[in-house]
């Protein structure tokens, strides 16, 4: 199963508070439901490829409104296509559910469809979290954290998508909305915001799995960064050593070590003897030992002498 499916299955195991049942059901019906107007009145069908989501709607309707919706399974004939599970809220039952869930309003001139998040149901923080849980169960997905960080909830309407993003933003999670074909997508990209969203909707196992992957990635990145830094330092040391040895060879061939001051002559001889030794360790080869800064100063002076010899040859 995918990470998104595992996350939804975890969410379907949560036992809602009575005050949160209506909020979650409203989001499920708004996000995955389709409203129909028949001769006997409005009815609603909800389609999902996740059987536990269908059962979640079934259970919430029964617990909240005391009736049993119809539950159907539609087998897909194409290869590798999942079955579709459909929950049907029949005429005579659907109108009460839809009104209380804030999806429609009964007006004198007929039904008025409400397209935004029903904020009247979300006065408590726990109900806001339950609504977001329902929205994710209805039309959300999350990428495998091993491949990247991305969570999204798809909506067919711009007004609903923007109101859903505004609800998430009120929880200090910066959700964004982007159009995609004929839909609008509410999405989160940063791992810390996805973690916070999962925490709010109660997906704690998914949260821990994502955090474990994020920690592993951070450790691996830090190790790679340190290794690259060490490699760069080694390359830098080797390049410096090569330049120093080239300069010392030029001095040896051009003027000889005998014309150098004693401290530079000793340094030239030590560098030729230990060509790959770092400066700190090279200083310890002297008796008495000298500091790294003294080694650096003497080697730099030898390079300068070689450069002066070059200039004189060119004149």
Q: Tens digits of per-residue pLDDT, 240-280? A: 778 888 888 888 888 888 888 888 888 888 888 888 888 88
What's residue 35's pLDDT? 84
What sign does the dihedral 220-225-230-232 (CA atoms) show? positive
User: How many C-beta neighbours within 10 Å does residue 249 have?
Assistant: 13
Residues of the chain with pLDDT > 90: what percent?
37
Say whether 172 sits in a helix, a strand or coil. Answer: coil
What gap in Å lies between CA 20 and CA 126, rounded to an integer? Answer: 7
Q: Which of 14-18, 47-51, 73-77 has the lowest mean pLDDT?
A: 73-77
What's residue 236's pLDDT? 72
Structural domains of the chain, ranges and CATH numbers in brackets: 3-202 (3.10.28.10), 238-314 (no CATH)
Say whether pTM exceeds 0.95: no
Q: What are 284-308's pLDDT values in tens digits?
A: 888 888 998 888 898 888 888 888 8
Q: What are 124-148's pLDDT values in tens digits?
A: 999 999 999 999 999 999 999 888 8
Per-residue pLDDT band at 55 (split at 50, 70, 90): very high
pLDDT at 31 over 60: yes
Backbone φ, ψ for residue 83 (5° rounding) = -70, 150
Where do runs of H (alpha helix) occur along 66-185?
94-100, 125-139, 158-170
Summarize the confidence of residues 91-103 as an average pLDDT: 88
Strand partners, 177: 186
What's residue 314's pLDDT? 64
Q: What are 209-226's pLDDT values in tens digits?
A: 988 888 887 777 776 676
Per-residue pLDDT band at 312 (split at 50, 70, 90): confident
Q: ∠ CA 111-113-114 to the nearest 5 degrees?
A: 135
Q: Which of 46, 91, 47 is nearest to 67 (CA)?
A: 91
What's residue 152's pLDDT? 96
- Asked whether the beta carbons of 28 and 134 are under 8 A apart, the reply is yes
Q: Which of 203, 313, 205, 295 is nearest to 241 (CA)?
A: 295
Q: ∠ CA 247-273-312 to the nearest 5 degrees?
A: 15
Summarize the confidence of residues 8-36 as an average pLDDT: 91
11 exposure class (CB count in 10 Å sphere: 0-12, 13-18, 19+): buried
DSSP annotation of 66 reads S
Per-residue pLDDT band at 80 (split at 50, 70, 90): low
What's residue 71's pLDDT? 87
């Amino acid at each position: 199963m995918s990470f998104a499916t595992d996350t939804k299955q975890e969410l379907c195991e949560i036992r809602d508070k009575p005050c949160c049942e209506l909020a979650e059901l409203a989001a499920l019906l708004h996000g995955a439901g389709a409203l129909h107007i028949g001769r006997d009145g409005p009815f609603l069908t909800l389609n999902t490829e996740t059987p536990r989501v269908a059962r979640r709607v079934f259970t919430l309707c029964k617990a909240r409104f005391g009736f049993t919706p119809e539950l159907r399974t539609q087998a897909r004939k194409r290869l590798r296509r999942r079955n579709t599970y459909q929950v049907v809220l029949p005429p005579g039952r659907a109108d009460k559910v839809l009104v209380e869930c804030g999806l429609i309003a009964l007006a004198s001139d007929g039904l008025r469809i409400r397209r935004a998040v029903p904020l009247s149901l979300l006065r408590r923080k726990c109900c806001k979290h339950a609504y977001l849980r329902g929205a994710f169960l209805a039309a959300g997905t999350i990428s495998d954290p091993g491949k990247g960080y991305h969570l999204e909830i798809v909506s067919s309407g711009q007004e609903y998508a923007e109101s859903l993003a505004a609800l998430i933003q009120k929880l200090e999670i910066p959700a964004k909305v982007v159009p995609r074909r004929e839909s609008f997508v509410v999405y989160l990209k940063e791992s810390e915001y996805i973690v916070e969203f999962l925490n709010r909707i109660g997906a704690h196992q998914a949260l821990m799995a994502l955090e474990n992957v994020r920690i592993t990635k951070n450790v691996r990145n830090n190790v790679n960064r340190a290794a690259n830094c060490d490699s760069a330092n080694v390359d830098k040391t080797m390049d410096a050593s090569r330049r120093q040895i080239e300069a010392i060879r030029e001095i040896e061939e051009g003027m000889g070590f005998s014309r150098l001051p004693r401290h530079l002559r000793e340094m030239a001889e030590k560098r030729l003897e230990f060509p790959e030794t770092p400066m700190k360790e090279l200083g310890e080869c002297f008796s008495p030992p000298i500091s790294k800064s003294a080694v650096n100063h003497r080697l730099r002076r030898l390079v300068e002498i070689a450069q002066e010899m070059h200039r004189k040859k060119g004149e």
